[in-house]
Every structure is written in structure tokens, then in C-alpha cells.
Amino acid sequence: MADVSTNLTGSARVIAGGTDLLNAMETGIFPSSQYPTTLVNLKTIPNLNTIAVSGQTLKIGALAKIADIASSSVVQSGYSALASAASQVATPQVRNMGTLGGNLAQSVQCWYYRYPDRLGGRIVCLRKGGTTCYAVGGVNTYHSIYGGPKGCYAVYPSDTATALMALNASIVTNTRTIPIESFFDALTGTVLGSGEVITEVDVPTPASGTKQTYIKFAQRKAIDFAVVSVSTLLTMNGNTVTAARIALGGVAPTPMRSTAAESAVVGQTLNATAAAAAASAAVASATPLAYNTYKVPILKSILTQALLT
Ligand SMILES: Cc1cc2nc3c(=O)[nH]c(=O)nc-3n(C[C@H](O)[C@H](O)[C@H](O)COP(=O)(O)OP(=O)(O)OC[C@H]3O[C@@H](n4cnc5c(N)ncnc54)[C@H](O)[C@@H]3O)c2cc1C
């Protein structure tokens, strides 16, 4: 599989459900020199769609369908943030075709990147090897409010990734295991290399007494990506937070852990004051663009809600 690429280089790409890749091939993401000439169908590989707990780890095969993750009683009972996130992806049709591996490796939805031919000419943005992120000085309603660490301000779109970051998952490939916080790249999407495919996602079982949530704010109830999403994992001793993992989606080029919010809430009695303080800490470092300042109060609101749920 040496020439199979999961990023924008190379002539061959892997395909799972095809719900993102085929759309990307139709809409003009690929410059003609990089248009895939070979698709390698992962769905012919057996046993990559299992969902099972082994010891203290939930193991989900890369080909597990989003719908099956959402409806799994195992996921719903022990990893409810992930079940909730999966249930809010797209539509029933997409959830029944789309896989977890494809959901994590999907392309960003930035209109300057995704639809280069619809904007009066073929745009080659920074993410495609150009020199400019057109969102910065353009219409950036749905873009990053936490900057562009590598110059691109597109936001990472996956719902499951935000929950998996709160749950401290690891991404297993055919060559290595990658902690989720090291899996994403602000310019290429993921750190997957040539010939590297996701085979499994491992989720440590949260300690008993842990509270977990996933809340998504989108403009429509279905067929819509998160404008902002949050996922929280709180370990409690009575009403006191003893440990926290808080992940944000739709607000940065990668899913983002808010250690500022975590620090604000750990050691506190969980009440409206503590939740509001954590939400304020989360947005303290936000640097919204001209058209997306509205995301800041939404993020504060749904993070407060998530912490108090
Ligand atoms: C109308 C619509 C609405 C949507 N709304 C949402 C939403 O609200 N939330 C959300 O999270 N997503 C949303 N999506 C995205 C959707 O969830 C993804 O398209 C889907 O999960 C991708 O899975 P797939 O198996 O179809 O991937 P494919 O389309 O087959 O592949 C997508 C990408 O992942 C790569 N890939 C696939 N499997 C692997 C693997 N095992 N290892 C390495 N690389 C791999 C492919 O090469 C390709 O680059 C939406 C999509 C559509 C079409």
C-alpha cells in the first residue's frame, strides 16, 4: 500500500463509506494533478467494523458505521458522549454509510477549499498548496475563532472527534497508535502518512461516577455541521470536580482541548458560578474574525450547559 495516500498527495486514496470522498472528488477539492486515479475499498477488509469492550477499553473498528456507534448499547451506557455525538452526525442515510475512520479523516468544509470553482474562478488556497487563506480577509462566518496555527482558518468538522478527544481516545493505524491530541494537523487534517490507514479507535473506559456530555450547536437540526460543539468528561467526588477533560469542536482547525476551562473547574463545587467561570476561561484566548464573533457567546453558553448537565 505504499502509494495509498490519505491526504492530498498521491494518486490513490482509500475509500470507506464514500460519503465524503466522492463528494470531495465531485466538488473540486483535488487539483487535476492530484485527482485520485485509484480508490482502494477498505470495506472488503473483514472484521474492521466491530464495537466491543476489551478489559478497560472500548475498541471500535474503523469501518464501524456511525449509525451503529450511535445505537450501540455498549457505547450508550459507558461512553454516552460518543453515542450522542454519533447520533447528531448528518442524516440517517449518511450515518448508515459513513464510518468512524472516514468521519475522523474527512475533509474540512471551508467554502474556499471545498468549492473552488463556485467563487468566480479556481481558487488554490493555502490548504491546497497556495499561499493564501482566503477566509481571513473574506467571508469567515464558519471559520476558526482560535486562529490558524498553520495559516489555515478552516474548522475541523467531525462530531465524533470532539467527543473522542474528551474521552481521551487513541487512534490505531496499521503502523502505530496515536493519542487523539496528536492525531490532527491544522493544515493537512490528520497526521496519517502515505500508506497509513486507521484500523481501530480505542477509548478508555471512564471511571465510575464520571459525567460526560456532548452538545452541538448547528443552524439546522439535521444535515448540518457544528457551528460550535463541546464535549465534557468530569470525574466527580460528590459535587466536586476532581478531574476534567473539555473538548471544543467547530471553533479551530483541529478539535481543541480547553485546558483553561479544565483548570477553572477542577477542584470546584460544580454549580452555575463554576460553570460560568470555566466557560469564560475557555473563550479568554479566542481571537474571532470579522464575521464569526457570534461563536464566542454560543461557545460560552453551550459549555456552561454541558458542565451543568
Ligand atoms: C450531507 C452531509 C452532512 C454531514 N454532516 C456531518 C455532521 O453533521 N457531522 C459530522 O461529523 N460529519 C458530517 N458529515 C461528514 C460525514 O460524517 C462523513 O462524510 C463520513 O463520516 C465519512 O465516512 P466515510 O466512511 O463515508 O468516509 P469516506 O468518504 O469513504 O472517506 C473520507 C476520507 O477519509 C479517508 N478514510 C476513510 N476511511 C479511512 C481509514 N480507515 N483510514 C484512513 N483514512 C480513511 C478517505 O480516504 C477520505 O479521505 C456530513 C456529510 C454529508 C454528506
- pLDDT (0 to 100) of residue 7: 46
Q: Tell me the three cell numbers of residue 32.
A: 487535476
Sheet holding 4-5, edge to edge: 4-5, 12-15, 38-41
Parallel, antiparallel or unpaired: strands 210-217 and 184-185: unpaired
Per residue in 180-214, pLDDT (tens digit) is 999 999 999 999 998 999 999 999 999 988 999 99
Sheet of 198-204: strand order equals: 51-54, 57-61, 198-204, 170-173, 177-179
Q: What is the pLDDT of residue 257?
A: 98
Residue nearest to atom 45 of ligand 1 (CA): 102
What type of residue is 271? N
CA of 152 to the centre of ligand 1 (A): 20
Residue 290's contacts (CB-CB under 8 Å, 6 or more residues apart) are 140
Give the residue, out of 3, 20, 172, 184, with the most ligand 1 atoms within 8 A of its beta carbon, to mutate for a pocket test: 20
pLDDT at 260: 98
Ligand 1 centre and the CA of 17: distance in Å? 7
Which residue in 211, 223, 104 sits closest to 165, CA to CA? 104
Asked if residue 256 has pLDDT above 80, the reply is yes
Per-residue pLDDT averaged across 108-136, rounded?
87
Q: What are the pocket residues of ligand 1 if the criterion is a CB atom closer than 6 Å to any ligand atom?
A: 6, 13-21, 23, 42, 62, 66, 89-90, 94, 97-99, 101-103, 105-106, 157-159, 192, 197-198, 223-225
Return the closest-CA partner of residue 306 out of 256, 261, 268, 263: 261
What's the whole-number mean pLDDT along residues 84-106? 97
> What mean pLDDT is reported for the chain?
93
Residue 239: Cβ-neighbour burial (10 angstroms; 0-12, 13-18, 19+) = exposed
CA 135 – CA 218 distance, rounded (Å)? 20
Question: In this predicted model, what pLDDT tens digit does every residue of 10-34 receive, in sequence order?
Answer: 578 999 999 999 999 988 788 777 7
- Candidates 145, 178, 152, 147; CA nearest to 164 is 178
In angstroms, rounded to a whole number, what is the distance separating the alpha carbons of residues 189 and 207? 31
Q: Residue with C-alpha cell 498553520?
A: 150
Residue nearest to atom 11 of ligand 1 (CA): 158
Give residue 281 CA to ligand 1 midpoint distance, Å: 32
Pairing of strands 12-15, 4-5: parallel
The Cα-based distances of 14 to 6, 76, 107, 239 in angstroms read: 7, 29, 13, 47
**Rounded Cα gap, residues 91 and 106, in angstroms:** 16
Burial 200-224 (b: 16+ CB within 10 A, else e): bbbbeebeeebbbbbbbbbeeeeee
Torsion of CA 246, 251, 160, 178, to 10 degrees: -70
**In this structure, what are the phi and psi dihedrals at residue 12, rounded to the nearest 5 degrees?**
-115, 145
C-beta of residue 157 within 8 angstroms of C-beta of residue 225: yes
Residue 172 has pLDDT above 70, yes or no: yes
**How far does residue 70's CA lie from ligand 1's centre (Å)?**
15
Nearest CA to ligand 1 atom 3: 90
Query: Distance, CA 267 to ligand 1 centroid (Å)?
Result: 38
Report CA(59)–ligand 1 centroid distance (Å). Answer: 19
Taken in order 235, 237, 239, 241, the sign of the CA dihedral is negative
What is residue 10's predicted lDDT score, i.e. its pLDDT?
58
**pLDDT beyond 70 at 278:** yes
- The alpha carbon of 50 and the centre of ligand 1 are apart by a number of angstroms equal to 18
| 119 band by pLDDT with thresholds 50, 70 and 90 | low
